[in-house]
Amino acid sequence: MRRPLAFAIVVGVAYAARTLGDGGSPLRGTGLALGFALIAAALAGTFFERVGLPRLSGYLVFGLACGPYLGDIISRSMARQLQLANGLAIALIAFVAGLELNLARLRPRLRAIAGLSFVTLGFLYAGLLVTCWALWPWLPIAPEATGAARVALAALLATVAASFSPTVTIAVIAESRARGPLSELVLAVVVLADLVLIFLFTLVMQAVRWVLGEAPAGDVSLLARLTWEILGSLAFGAALGAVFAVYLRYVGREITVVLLGLCAVLSAAGGWLHFEPLLAALAAGLVVENVAPPRGDALKEAVERGGLPVLVVFFVAAGTSLQIDALGVTGGAVCLLLALARAALLREGTRLGARRAGLDPALGALAWMGLVSQAGVTLGLTVLVAVEFPEWGEPLQALVVVLSALHVLAGPILFRMALSRAGEVGQMDAGERPSAAPA
């Protein structure tokens, strides 16, 4: 009874403040949104957990319910301000993901993981390409496109629709305190497949330009830019990770402040140097884990325990940005069809991949459930399309936003279910890993 009462009080305070105040400058609502989101969303997350759903789905649904598109307790401007914290949150989440990737532990299964990733991705991509091409006349993007243009545009949509969400994957693992073969496998597949998809995206964008006659043959500016972004991000993150590992090893003081500073630099570098904060932070975490393993493990444990406020704010902000009113405009039925096709392709792709890679079939049967989520990477790619080709890029962006909304709502629930079936939920606290699946 204490929690519902506290929830009602917090909602009342936020509502009263919204009614009494004018907010002044747009930034003044940030503290209100932050405080309200932290307490009320955490309570909503607890409620979700009690009914067997992931807590972060509770944060998302709370953000959606209180956000500007439904309840409007968190206004549009407050939601925008909440998203300012996203850069830091993504860097922290990705840093923890890097800490999860212990190369010595993964080495024996690297080949199998790579095999599963490529087969799954190939199957998914091919299937989505065919589906998008077949559905093209009903998609509200550029239904008049035919021939090579239709193939190129369908390939672009398939690339974006195939992408995954390392952030959500990591967050579900952290929140479920999960550890074991399935968590490691899904995380590795998501990261590897997204890297491949980002490269593929650059190639497909170039193909679209050629087909639409908007770029001379041989123009590889986007490819060069994205190569700089990916390799530069990895190198930058690895360098910062090495410095942080040395700091941990020889200084080891005020680690909270220094870690937050590191994440702020990794996040800000995205703006200054056109690096991808997610990749840079992942590389930093990977270096720390593999250069200073005992401290990396302890740091991971500590950050995962203390990083809950970051997760809450990140997913509430994501929830507030879910434009469910766009469903009617872009054709909810088509989105649902695409989402179902993607899920079915993922399921068959991982089964096939697991068989080819010699992985435990039980693991292959569950892995697809961890690959459903979509969020930041997907939306980031659509922004690039919308900016360069506003005429048909913006409708494509609207469609993908709705598709991602469906996936980000369903994905964590499915992944949590899979982790639970694999017996990996809570294994971080148990301090022992379940017996590894036989290869």
Concatenate the DSSP letters of all residues of 128-176 into one string.
HHHHHHHHGGGSSS-TT--HHHHHHHHHHHHHHHH---HHHHHHHHHHH
**Angle, alpha carbons 107-108-111 (nearest 5°):** 85
99 part of the interface to other proteins, by CB under 8 A: no
In the complex with other proteins, the residue whose CB is nearer, 52 or 252, is 252
In the complex with other proteins, the residue whose CB is nearer, 85 or 357, is 85
Shortest Cβ 286–other proteins spacing (Å): 18
In the complex with other proteins, the residue whose CB is nearer, 19 or 435, is 19
Shortest Cβ 238–other proteins spacing (Å): 21
Segment contacting other proteins by CB under 8 A, of 39-47, 91-99, 101-109, 137-145:
39-47
N-to-C CA span, the chain: 49
In the complex with other proteins, the residue whose CB is nearer, 24 or 438, is 24
In the complex with other proteins, the residue whose CB is nearer, 78 or 189, is 78
In the complex with other proteins, the residue whose CB is nearer, 36 or 201, is 36
In the shown chain, the binding pattern of residues 4 to 33 toward other proteins, with x for contact by CB under 8 A and - for none, equals: -xx--xx-xxx-xxx-xxxxxx-xxxxxxx
**166, 190 contact by CB (below 8 A):** yes
Token couple for 3: 């929690």
Shortest Cβ 425–other proteins spacing (Å): 15
Residues 71-90 that bind other proteins (CB under 8 A): 81, 84
> Rounded to whole angstroms, how far apart are CA atoms 360 and 317?
37
- Give the number of other Cβ atoms within 10 Å of residue 173's Cβ: 28
In the complex with other proteins, the residue whose CB is nearer, 116 or 313, is 313
Shortest Cβ 76–other proteins spacing (Å): 15
In the shown chain, the binding pattern of residues 334 to 373 toward other proteins, with x for contact by CB under 8 A and - for none, equals: ----------------------------------------
Q: List the one residue out of 204, 272, 196, 276 whose CA is nearest residue 235.
A: 276
Helix (H, G, I), strand (E, B) or coil at 228: helix
**Angle, alpha carbons 268-406-98 (nearest 5°):** 40
Shortest Cβ 18–other proteins spacing (Å): 7
> Rounded to whole angstroms, how far apart are CA atoms 156 and 399?
13
42 part of the interface to other proteins, by CB under 8 A: yes
**151, 133 contact by CB (below 8 A):** yes
Residues 206-265 that bind other proteins (CB under 8 A): 248-257, 259
Shortest Cβ 31–other proteins spacing (Å): 3
Shortest Cβ 297–other proteins spacing (Å): 10
Shortest Cβ 352–other proteins spacing (Å): 39
In the complex with other proteins, the residue whose CB is nearer, 148 or 302, is 302
How many of the chain's residues bind other proteins (CB under 8 A)? Answer: 59
2 part of the interface to other proteins, by CB under 8 A: yes
Concatenate the DSSP letters of all residues of 318-382 into one string.
HHHT--TTHHHHHTHHHHHHHHHHHHHHHHHHHHHHHHHHT--HHHHHHHGGGS----HHHHHHH
Token couple for 127: 């299937």
- The one-letter amino acid code at 332 reads G
In the complex with other proteins, the residue whose CB is nearer, 297 or 394, is 297
In the complex with other proteins, the residue whose CB is nearer, 49 or 360, is 49
Contacts made by residues 389-392, CB under 8 angstroms, sequence distance 24+: 389/208, 389/212, 391/142, 392/141, 392/142, 392/153
> What value does the CA radius of gyration of the chain take, rounded to a whole number of Å?
21
Q: List the one residue out of 339, 377, 341, 352 whose CA is nearest residue 196.
A: 377
- The one-letter amino acid code at 243 reads V
Residues 284-303 that bind other proteins (CB under 8 A): 294-295, 298-299, 301-303
Shortest Cβ 322–other proteins spacing (Å): 22
In the complex with other proteins, the residue whose CB is nearer, 285 or 393, is 285
Shortest Cβ 43–other proteins spacing (Å): 8
| Residues contributing to the site for other proteins (CB under 8 A) | 2-3, 5-6, 9-10, 12-14, 16-18, 20-25, 27-39, 42-43, 46, 81, 84, 248-257, 259, 294-295, 298-299, 301-303, 305-306, 308-309, 312
